[in-house]
Structure 1
Amino acid sequence: MPSAAERARTLVEGNPSAVLVIPGLDPVLPGQMVPEMRSVGPEGDVFLLFPADSPAVRAATHAEADELTAVLEITDVAPVSVPHRIRGRAWIAGWLTPVRDEPVVPGTALLRLEVGEASVDDLWGAEQVEPDEFADATADPLAAHESELLQHLAAAHEDQVGWLCGLVGGYGGRGAECAGTRTAVPVALDRFGLRVRFTDPDGSFDARFDFPEPVRGHEELHHAMHTLFDAARASADDLHGA
């Protein structure tokens, strides 16, 4: 499974929505605290791009002795239609300072968030992340395209995803439940595997399907998905044959 630090880096560098919270800042419109871009530097600092007249930029510019504390709050929502769409949250807390030596688009300003502590609470669970762990981690290689990949699986491979319920027997003995499932929607994808949410009139549950080996790109993902679907189809054929 991905480490907590990797999951936090993936959320910071990926597509989820994010808002910067500065304790004590006068109330502002929520949209004014949403960075236009964000990235992570080689030392683990988080860089945030804001309009030059943003309250965040003004607060960082006028702070004394670089002691402005801030928290980047990230919310990850599944890009497919499923019950309980929020997949996870992350919090990156630290000290905010303006970056004056990097060129930016006119009318914008770059801020640096030096990480003091981080945490993640997602489909894997809740964990703390140390700053050095966050700096050393890398984002999941599929994160940039996860949304479109999940939407493609849900729209074009609905039957194949449904076959996966035949492999659910090892997940808490839910094989019998899965047989009566109405829908099966891929809800998360990373280099280690695929998570599917199965829903029937009685509720829903997630099942995780691991790839034989972690994948590093689209070609390896294509092979891994076909291997997974073939195993599910073979399981279904065995069941019908029995």
Structure 2
Amino acid sequence: MVPLYTSRHLAPSPAERARAVLARPNPATVTTQSGTLHLVDPACHVHPGGTVSLLLPDRHHLLDEMDRGRTAATVEFTDTSALALRDPTRSLLWISGTLTALDEATARMRALRLIRDDPDERLLDIGHGRTMVSLDPYLVVHSDTEGCNLLGNDEFLRARPDPLGRWEGPWLRHLEEDHPDLLAALALACPGDVPAVHPRPLGVDRYGMTLRFEGPDGDHDVRLPFGRPVEGPQEVAAEVHALAGLPDACGPY
């Protein structure tokens, strides 16, 4: 893909982009010495101490490996577009570290602490088809069109997850399916020359949104910065309509 325009305005840091990958329901692949496990929705959470919890299927052979001690592993997270794009991969995140399976009592206590700040219903699957494991990272690498970045553990831990991450997918799908006129207006606001094709909404974060133009010569991404950082759906709606030069919206879209 070819980025046509990179904003000089505020944008998420590499560490923030990495944390956003974990907040969204992205697929992941766990690789250890004994094999690999592909996860459709690993339900990841980053804890204050820096560990990352994952939910794995009960009775998987990787859990047997962890029963024999801490297991070295690399987990690859694929940041996938919510839309059926020609190239749906937006970025990749690799976390290398050691995996430890938690007993059900410890896992439930950890889940209760998480639910206070993040009401993630997937945590209710502990003991009912899923087992929580703890990943202690020693290497974190994030790669996207902006570059490949090796992240320090402190940098990764301090990064603020994007407040729009959980509802980004439904918002992008709604924008494409129900507001083609708004997308057309956003295309007119893009700087420089863009392919003469209808834009696809690729991503949104608190600093701006990105459109993809799937042209005959390849994919072209254009980032449109918001006038100010946003925190929720109403503010996103106002900034998107301002970018398009349209009256402000009454609802979150």
Q: TM-score, normalised by structure 2?
A: 0.79
Q: Report Cα offsets for 1:81-109 as digits up to 9, x if no partner.
A: 33322111100111111223232425542
Bigger CA radius of gyration: 1
Q: Report Cα offsets for 1:164-183 as digits up to 9, x if no partner.
A: 232333xxx42xxx3x6121
Any idea what SS the aligned residue of 1:168 has?
A: coil
Q: Which residue of 1 aligns with 2:121?
A: none
Letter paired with 1:229: A
- How far the C-alpha of 1:36 sits from its partner, in A, is 4.4
Letter paired with 1:77: T
> 1 or 2 for the larger relative contact order (CA 8 Å, sep ≥6)?
2
Matched, 1:154 2:176: yes
CA distance in 2, matches of 1:9, 1:142: 12
CA distance in 2, matches of 1:137, 1:71: 21
Letter paired with 1:163: A
Q: Which residue of 2 aligns with 1:227?
A: 242
Letter paired with 2:80: V
CA distance in 1, matches of 2:150, 2:198: 34
Matched, 1:124 2:129: no
Show structure 1 runs of 4+ deviating over 4 A: 33-36
- How far the C-alpha of 1:14 sits from its partner, in A, is 1.2
CA distance in 1, matches of 2:129, 2:178: 42
Q: Which residue of 2 aligns with 1:186?
A: 201
Q: TM-score, normalised by structure 1?
A: 0.82
* Count of residue pairs brought into register by the alignment: 218
- How far the C-alpha of 1:35 sits from its partner, in A, is 6.4
Letter paired with 1:158: P
Matched, 1:102 2:124: no
* Contact 2:189 2:243 (C-alpha < 8 Å) held by counterparts: no
Letter paired with 2:78: T
Q: Which residue of 2 aligns with 1:238?
A: none
* Contact 1:188 1:195 (C-alpha < 8 Å) held by counterparts: yes
CA distance in 1, matches of 2:225, 2:173: 19
Q: Which residue of 1 aligns with 2:29?
A: 19
Q: How does 1:70-149 map to 2 (within 5 A)?
A: 70-100=73-103, 101-103=106-108, 104-106=126-128, 108-149=130-171
Unaligned runs of 5+ in 2: 1-10, 109-125, 248-253
Any idea what SS the aligned residue of 2:16 has?
A: helix
Q: Which residue of 2 aligns with 1:37?
A: 43
- How far the C-alpha of 1:230 sits from its partner, in A, is 1.2
Letter paired with 1:111: V
Higher helix share: 1
Q: Which residue of 1 aligns with 2:118?
A: none
1:165 to 187, 193, 197: 187
Q: How does 1:190-205 map to 2 (within 5 A)?
A: 190-205=205-220
Q: Report Cα offsets for 1:101-153 as digits up to 9, x if no partner.
A: 23242554221101111011123321111111111112211110111111111
Q: Which residue of 1 aligns with 2:62?
A: 56
CA RMSD of aligned residues (A): 2.1
Matched, 1:2 2:12: yes
Letter paired with 1:102: A
